[in-house]
Structure 1
Amino acid sequence: MAIFPFLIFLTAIAAFFDLSSLSATVVALIFESVPASIAAPIAGEVKNVLLVPRGDLLTIGVALALWFASSGVEAMRVGLNRAYGMIEDRNFILLRLQSIGFVLLGTLTFLTIAFLVVLAPVAWKGLVHLVPAIEAFAWSLTLLRFGLTLVIAGAGLLASHLWLPAGRRRITEILPGVGLTLAAWIAGAYGFSLYLADFANYASTYAGLAGVMTAIIFLYLMALILLYGATLNAALVERRRRRAAAAASPEEPLTSPWP
């Protein structure tokens, strides 16, 4: 539900800096790893969002878009806190400002990477003109696009696990869950597309809403995978804590504060 407010705010930023052409590239990056059968139901509405001119950053509409986009970050925070077994006791205003910062950073990151993606073919043509022998490696551009998608997702996951939930975690403690999430996202997207192609028939159940329901179920699956990765990290941390406690005092029974 926060995708559209985020895109509205992103296009407003792009229009303000006269970078509107990069908005379509950003959308391509966001949906690059999503199967076409899943992305198609919302692709049309995304284009409608991008076609609306939004040149004024200081409007109530854009401010509300920023607020609702940050609400998506807050929803992720709630899920991660529950997965890690943490109780949130930080100031609400500071947390909301942090979520807004995440949206702003995400906007800047997507626009920067979109600029590099647009620049890459131009640079590649220049290199081919200078060194024609490298034209056989044109497939590397496609590999670069998918690599950028994974880098964006991985960096976003690392930042989310480190700073969104309460408490402190080291990078080494969150890497297992991040790696599992990325691998499961890829496998889940591929498996869900096969399921839609061979088994599912949402049209018989949801009629005209079949496309929308397909996208919602897919996003719900991806959210579950995200929370499962955080739960894995919490379980591994708890396991190490129990082992350390057992080594320190093997005769005392262990109790865990983590649910």
Structure 2
Amino acid sequence: MDTPALSTHAVYLFVKGFIRSTWRAVNRFNDTDGWAIASHMAMTALMALFPFLIFLTAFAGFLDLGDLGRSSVSLLFEAWPTSVAGPITREINTVLTVPRGDLLTIGILLAIYFASNGVEAMRLGLTRAYGSAEHRNFVILRLQSIVFVLIGTLAILTLALLVAVGPVAWTFVQERTVVHDLSGLAESSGLSSWSFYGFVTSKLGVFVRYVVTIAVLGGALIVAHKWLPAGHRSLRDVLPGIVVTLLAWIVGAIGFATYLGRFANYASTYAGLAGVMTALVFLYLLAAIFLFGASLNAARIEHRLTKAMTEPEPS
């Protein structure tokens, strides 16, 4: 068989395998009540969002990093469609202007607890998707969720700090590396140095922020898939669903923003609740994609185990 025929056959096998894997994932998603669990996750995430941000800003204020806490809140919603993030951000800013006092008050401790409900909802969804049987003590599970909230807070503050330090570091690089020489070349060609710096900084800055955001989300998804539900899964087991989740989230966010801009008019249906309902539908979309990624992983694991059991042992 010649090379073109081999290539065509390989493409055929890939497409066939992809369709089969997707179909198995769809069936598993429906069999494990994926749509119902996604609605639970969306509602819980929306209810946990405000307590989490209250704790985040209180923790930043405790470290005397109040401005960094507010920057973290803005950073969290940069990847959201503007029509979704706008109304929620306004309400969040109103809530966060209320003085909270010391970090270890009853209100802040309750905020941590309610924020951990979002992690528990993710655990429930992943446990159902993977078909795991949870036997761990509920106190241990809740403490683990609270630890994840604390780790997430530190990660977001660190990311916001890196974003704040980034322009300063870029200016340092501009003045001492080849970028400065390129600026001189651009100026001698009739382009202003400021325009060149602005172009490079804006394009590079946007690219770096998106890359860092995707990397952080990918790391969070790996942690969630490996350690939230019961059972053991290797990185090889969870990586395909995580990649699909990230890609589908990007496409879904763009598609939802386009839908809101051209077709949807939630204000005519929900009046003053339009902003909240828009955010809830968006979170529902993200949760469904998240659970589909887990269903894809579970379907692949199940198929691999079934295939290994049915194949005859070598003599």
Normalising by structure 2, what TM-score? 0.76
- Aligned residue runs from structure 1 range 89-108, under 5 A: 89-108=135-154
Contact preservation (8 Å) 2:57, 2:70: no
Work out the CA distance in 2 between the residues paired with 1:69 and 1:114.
20
1:219 aligned partner, one-letter code: L
Structure 2 residue identity aligned to 1:220 = Y
One-letter amino acid of the structure 1 residue matched with residue 284 of structure 2: Y
**Alpha-carbon distance, 1:55 to partner:** 4.4
Partner of 1:6: 52
Does residue 168 of the first structure (1) align with residue 214 of the second (2)?
A: no
Q: Secondary structure at the match of 2:311?
A: helix
Taking only the aligned residue pairs, the percentage that are identical comes to 55
Equivalent residue for 1:80, pick from 121, 126, 132: 126
Query: What amino acid maps onto 1:177 in structure 2?
Result: G
2:187 is the counterpart of 1:187: no
Query: Which runs of no fewer than 5 residues in structure 1 stay unpaired?
Result: 250-259
Specify which of 64, 69, 76 is matched with residue 115 of structure 2.
69
Is residue 241 from structure 1 mapped to residue 290 from structure 2 by the alignment? no
- Report if aligned partners of 1:7, 1:49 keep a CA contact under 8 Å in 2: no
Q: Does the 8 Å CA contact 1:11/1:54 hold for their aligned counterparts?
A: no
The structure that has the greater radius of gyration is 2
Deviations along 1:190-216, one digit per CA (max 9) or x if unpaired, are 001111111112122112211211111
Structure 2 unaligned regions, length at least 5: 1-46, 184-196
1:157-186 Cα offsets, whole Å, 9 max, x none, are 110000000111001100011001100100
Q: Report whether the alignment pairs 1:228 with 2:292.
A: yes
Deviation at 1:24, TM superposition (A): 2.1
User: Paired residue for 1:196, among 260, 267, 270?
Assistant: 260
- Give the counterpart letter for 1:24 in structure 2: R
Q: Distance in 1 between matches of 2:102 and 2:211?
A: 34
Residue 161 of structure 1 aligns with an amino acid whose one-letter code is H
Counterpart of 2:186 in structure 1 is none
**Corresponding residue number in structure 1 for 2:71:** 25
Q: How far apart, in 1, do the equivalents of 2:51 and 2:212 lie?
A: 23
Following superposition, the deviation at residue 128 of structure 1 comes to 2.3
Counterpart AA for 1:194:
T
Quick check: 1:126 aligned with 2:172? yes
Which secondary structure does the structure 2 equivalent of 1:28 belong to? helix
Task: Report if aligned partners of 1:15, 1:55 keep a CA contact under 8 Å in 2.
Answer: no
Kept in 2, the 8 Å contact 1:32–1:146? The answer is: no
Structure 1 stretch displaced more, 224-233 or 129-138: 129-138
Query: Structure 2: how far apart are the matches of 1:51 and 1:128?
Result: 38
Structure 2 counterpart of 1:120, one-letter code = G
Decide which of 197, 200, 204 is 1:137's aligned counterpart: 200
**Greater CA deviation, 25-34 or 157-166?**
25-34
In structure 1, the partner of 2:100 is 54
Question: For the Cα contact (< 8 Å) 1:30–1:149, is it kept in 2?
Answer: no
What's the TM-score once normalised by structure 1's chain length? Answer: 0.92
For the aligned residue pairs, the C-alpha RMSD in angstroms reads: 1.5
Asked if the contact 2:56–2:153 (Cα under 8 Å) also holds between the matched residues in 1, the reply is yes
Moved runs in structure 1, 4+ residues, more than 6 A?
none
Partner amino acid, structure 2, of 1:111: L
Contact map agreement 1:23 1:50 (CA 8 A) in 2: no
- 1:111 is matched with 157
- Counterpart in the other structure of 1:256: none
Matched-pair contact (CA < 8 Å) for 1:73–1:99: yes
3-state SS of paired residue (1:2): helix
CA–CA distance in structure 1, aligned partners of residues 124 and 312 of structure 2? 34
CA distance in 2, matches of 1:10, 1:49: 13
